[in-house]
């Protein structure tokens, strides 16, 4: 999450350098994340507006001839409001939010980002992040976050427990692990910490409620399953691969 504002600032810089020197206005939409900008008092609660206000002002300091207008859009209304804006040709110049529809790219409504990245830039992103917006040979989404709060696919390893259990976590980080190896590691990280005969130290923590959906999807994809076919015209969640991923999660919980 900490790198998110840097990515967005770089995006704003790229947009700004590509436009004419005359006074212009850039409009962007963002859902109200409660991200604290640099210097925000730790005891002051966040409303969701602090981050877009701060980064817009930072960009305008670098580019006095550009006016940045940000619009906060709630998650609940994002899809409907964006669809309406596209239909009336009042869509923002770019947007960050919980909405993505590959049909926009296929219809030519979105600008590919490929031409804005140098060979060195490509090395800064995980391939998995770039795949999220890959359509017909081009990339349409700037990687925003690769986090652990339900919106990404990162797994954090608490290395002291790995070392306590005699597990070489460096080997895992460098070489990866199979699903079978992952299960064996989970077994080694599950124990009775206070000696009362009851298991109270568990190997893995999964997000609750809505975040659990994202955790489940990661396992489905790991087994080769998908929500839809390549054309996104048919739901294939009941494929053998997807079922295997769901069964793995159930077994893991048990």
Summarised one tens digit per residue, pLDDT across range 27-61 is 999 888 778 889 889 888 888 899 999 999 999 99
Half-sphere exposure of 49 (CA within 13 A, CB side): 5
Does residue 148 form part of some domain? Answer: no
Expressed in percent and rounded to 5, the helix, strand and coil fractions of the chain are: 40, 10, 50
Residues 174, 122 share a domain: no
Task: Confirm whether 149 is domain-assigned.
Answer: no
Residues 163 and 107 in one domain: no
What pLDDT sits at residue 207?
Answer: 65
Same-domain check for residues 119 and 174: no
DSSP 137-204: TEE--------SSSSS------HHHHHHTT--HHHHHHH---HHHHHHHHHHT-B-SSSSSS--B-S-
80/15 same-domain check:
yes
Both 130 and 94 in a single domain? yes
Domain membership of residue 87 (yes or no) is yes
Shared domain for 11 and 133, answered yes or no, is yes
Q: Are residues 103 and 173 in the same domain?
A: no
Main-chain phi, psi angles of 191, to 5 degrees: -155, 175
Domain containing 111 equals 4-139
Asked whether residue 25 carries a pLDDT value surpassing 90, the answer given is yes
Residues 128 and 34 in one domain: yes
105-142, pLDDT tens digit by residue? 898 889 999 999 898 988 888 777 788 789 999 999 88
Could you give the number of structural domains in the chain? 2
> In this structure, are 106 and 27 located in the same domain?
yes
Residues in a beta bridge with 29: 71, 95
Q: Which pTM was predicted? A: 0.54
Domain assignment of residue 150, yes or no:
no
Which of 34-43 are b and which e, b meaning 16 or more Cβ less than 10 Å from the residue's Cβ? ebeeeeeeee
């Amino acid at each position: 999450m900490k790198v998110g504002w840097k990515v967005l600032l770089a995006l704003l810089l790229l947009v700004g350098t590509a436009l004419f020197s005359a006074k212009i206005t850039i409009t962007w939409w963002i859902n109200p994340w409660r991200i604290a900008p640099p210097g925000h008092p730790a005891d002051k609660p966040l409303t969701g507006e602090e981050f877009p206000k701060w980064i817009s002002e930072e960009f305008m300091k670098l580019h006095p001839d550009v006016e940045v207008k940000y619009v906060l859009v709630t998650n609940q209304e994002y899809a409907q409001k964006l669809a309406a804006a596209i239909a009336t040709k009042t869509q923002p110049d770019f947007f960050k939010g919980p909405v993505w529809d590959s049909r926009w790219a296929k219809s030519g409504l979105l600008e590919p980002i490929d031409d804005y990245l140098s060979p060195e830039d490509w090395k800064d992103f995980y391939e998995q992040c770039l795949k999220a917006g890959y359509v017909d040979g081009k990339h349409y989404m700037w990687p925003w976050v690769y986090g652990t709060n339900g919106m990404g696919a990162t797994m954090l390893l608490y290395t002291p427990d790995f070392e306590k259990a005699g597990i070489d976590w460096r080997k895992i980080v460098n070489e990866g692990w199979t699903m079978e190896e992952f299960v064996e590691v989970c077994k080694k990280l599950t124990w009775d910490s206070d000696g009362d005969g009851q298991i109270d130290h568990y190997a893995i923590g999964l997000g609750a409620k809505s975040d659990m959906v994202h955790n489940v999807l990661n396992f489905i994809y790991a087994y080769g399953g998908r929500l839809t076919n390549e054309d996104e015209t048919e739901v294939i969640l009941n494929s053998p691969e997807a079922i295997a991923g769901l069964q793995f999660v159930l077994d893991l919980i048990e």
